[in-house]
Amino acid sequence: MAVQQEIKSQLAKLLATEDIVVEHKHVETAQFNVQTRVLILPLWEKASNNVYDMLVGHEVGHALFTPNEDPPKHIPHGFVNVVEDARIEKLMKRKYLGIAKSFYKGYNEMHDQDFFEIDGEDINKFNLADRANLHFKVGSFTSIPFSTPEKEIISLIENAETFIDTIAAAEALYNFCKQEQEKESQSKKDEAKQDALMDIESDGISDTSSTDDTDSSLSDTDSDAPVESGVDHIDSDLRMDDSDLTVETEEILNGKIKDLTGSEHSYENIYVEIPKVNLDTIIIKNDVVHDEIDEGFLRDEESFTPTSIDDLPEHLHYLHSPTCFYKPDEEFNKFKKDAQKEVSYLVKEFECRKSASAYARASTNRTGVLDTTKLQTYRFNEDIFKKVTVLPDGKNHGLVFILDWSGSMQYVLQDTLKQLFNLIWFCKKVQIPFEVYAFTGEWNRIGYGEDNPEVKPHYEPKEGLLAVEEHFNLLNVLTHKVNGKTLEHQMLNLWRNAYAFANRCCYNYTNRMRLSGTPLNETMIALHQVLPQFKKENNVEKVQCIVLTDGEGSQIPYHKMVERYWEDEPYLGVNSCSNDMAFLRDRKLGKTYKLGYGYHQFTDALIKNLRDKFPSTNFIGIRVMASRDARHFIGLYHHGWENREKVASEWKKSKSVTITNSGYHAYFGLSSTALAQDAEFDVDDSATKAQIKRAFVKSLKTKKLNKKVLGEFIELVA
């Protein structure tokens, strides 16, 4: 079973009992920065869950108990590691009793796979440091012998509680191994000398037998020099410095752990964060937006010349209009009249649910005042006091609407506005504060090119931050802060633009309001500042965020430092988050969110982060789409043929679907065709019974769809 690395990150955080930052990267060994509290773990792709848990527990032990100081230089690092590993693992087992099992299973697997390469080796010949390392790691699975003096050193290591104790025990271990090495070296020297002397003596005897007595003394005298030089040569060959004293089992284990990492060419985990954007540069104010629209429509109105229907060919009769806005305004007024029933239904449902919620939270308490109507029952009734029922005040509500103003909305924008306007009129009737923001990437681009002086960066770019495009803006198209007459005029402005996008008409849509790309994900980033600002300005307790869109936005790149060979300094560029190993990290929450490969997964991760950041806010998605797109939409969140077909059959019946396993609390999919149908039961006087029946059924279906969606919406916001 593949190891879920981000789950292991959560394990590390829980063990560390603090919000440390855990990253999985292409590194050979784990690293912990004591200052920044960042724990970097290698990508141990070949490790089992048991070994992974053991390694994570070990590294967290260093994070918790190893101080940020360098050990003494006169003690080789390997000796300090042996003692410190034993100390921190002991402290981890003491702090978390359950982790002892992870260490046991992890080292058991390592022993079975011969991680220390001791199979077939005589452990008695290992130095004390190697045997101590084996004793504290796999001593439960193999017998490690120690002499009486050695046991004293092992006892020092076992009893080490502080890093000072670690240094003392490591020094004792090193000195002991050094003395043993010197003894062994001296023994080898003595043996070598003895062998050399024996060789010289045998050579001298041979020479004496071949010469006369007068030459023997000379031969003896001359033989002293070669003997002395031979011993010096032996000493130089056997002399060993401190650098030869190592802990081989530690080096072998580190090499084996490095082998657990995957290929260097595999994807490395990417960790990105949300930038804090400047709303002053992102939000285009309500009056600025509508001044721009009014100016454009005024020019169209002044230049319009009415055309008689008689002057037009039959196929162009649809262009006939006494004023340039006659047709869209006529449709708007008709829709407004028809929508009042849905708005009234919303208000009724909202008030009922508010009352029911208040009643459910009501509490009855004794007042301490005698109830005179119960005094005669005092002999057998202890409850003779008056009671009072307390109904808690309902929470103040506020709504933030996000409207998709992208090119793909061209033919569903009017139907989407119908849903939005229903909710706006509802907010107005029950006096709920609201703001409507349309996201776009065209407001500051049109007519200026790329050198628009009005375009300013929305934040300070830094490595690891998501890159928000500078042409991204939120247009504050509607607000509760204006009076009713102004609000209706602004709604009509949006309606006229939406009409112009989808139809040939006698006027132009507002140039700076033209449809753009889909900066939906940039909007989710901006909501980190928009929601708290809205809550503070309007003094509301509960905020609902409604997103009306027809699809997903593109994934956002992140800032990354790159070195280019033709430049002396590193360059802050951008890189893609499109691989499957990208994670959004929230340091304040101490959580990471997998961004995923698909566009919808990227957006869902951003929404889940918002939900965790603002737990009192409901995030609701409303997606108006053509029936042909329904199966694709359902397939994004429902996998498996049987499950997908079940939801698809629901769509066929009601022309709507509610997705509950996306990033949103609820994601409503609505048929644009069904929403465009007239809910009024209106037939000609000469209609047949069949025509009357069809018109009646059609009217009921439309009303049913509207009430179903609005009812589910009220359940969330009330």
First-to-final CA distance of the chain: 44
Amino acid 530: pLDDT: 96
Give strand ranges (E) for 576-640. Answer: 582-586, 591-594, 617-625
Which tokens sit at 119? Answer: 């199979």
Distance CA 524, CA 606 (A): 6
Element (H, E) at 337: helix 326-360
Distance CA 619, CA 400 (A): 10
Tens digit of pLDDT for each residue in 601-633?
Answer: 899 999 999 999 999 899 999 888 888 888 888
Which tokens sit at 76? Answer: 């080789």
DSSP label at residue 285: P
Nearest alpha carbon to residue 663 among 547, 581, 535: 547
Cβ neighbours, 10 Å, residue 282: 23
Which spans in 113-209 are helix H? 128-138, 148-158, 163-208
Amino acid 564: pLDDT: 77
In SS3 terms, 211-243 reads as CCHHHHHHHHHHHHHHHHHHHHHHHHHHCCCHH
Which tokens sit at 194? Answer: 């003895």
Question: CB of 548 within 8 A of CB of 296?
Answer: no
Amino acid 125: pLDDT: 87
Q: Annotate 538-567 with DSSP letters as a single string.
A: HT-SEEEEEEEESS-PPPP-EEEEE--TT-
Amino acid 385: pLDDT: 62
Question: CB of 71 within 8 A of CB of 80?
Answer: yes
Distance CA 274, CA 310 (A): 60
Amino acid 236: pLDDT: 43
Question: CB of 575 within 8 A of CB of 268?
Answer: no
120 SS3 class: coil
Strand 363-370 with 385-390, pairing: antiparallel
Q: Annotate 479-547 with DSSP letters as a single string.
A: ETTS-HHHHHHHHHHHHHHHHHHHS--SS---GGG--B---HHHHHHHHHHHHHHHHHHHT-SEEEEEE
Which tokens sit at 177? Answer: 């191994």
Distance CA 154, CA 136 (A): 9
Tokens 């112009």 label which residue? Answer: 500
Amino acid 1: pLDDT: 42
Q: Where are the domains of the chain?
A: 5-181+248-259, 186-244, 272-379+393-459+469-550+598-717
Strand 21-25 with 38-42, pairing: parallel
363 SS3 class: strand
Question: CB of 271 within 8 A of CB of 585?
Answer: yes
Amino acid 683: pLDDT: 44
Residues of the chain with pLDDT under 50: 1-3, 208-211, 214-242, 356-363, 389-394, 677-679, 681-683, 692-693, 696-697, 699-700
Nearest alpha carbon to residue 470 among 278, 633, 305: 278
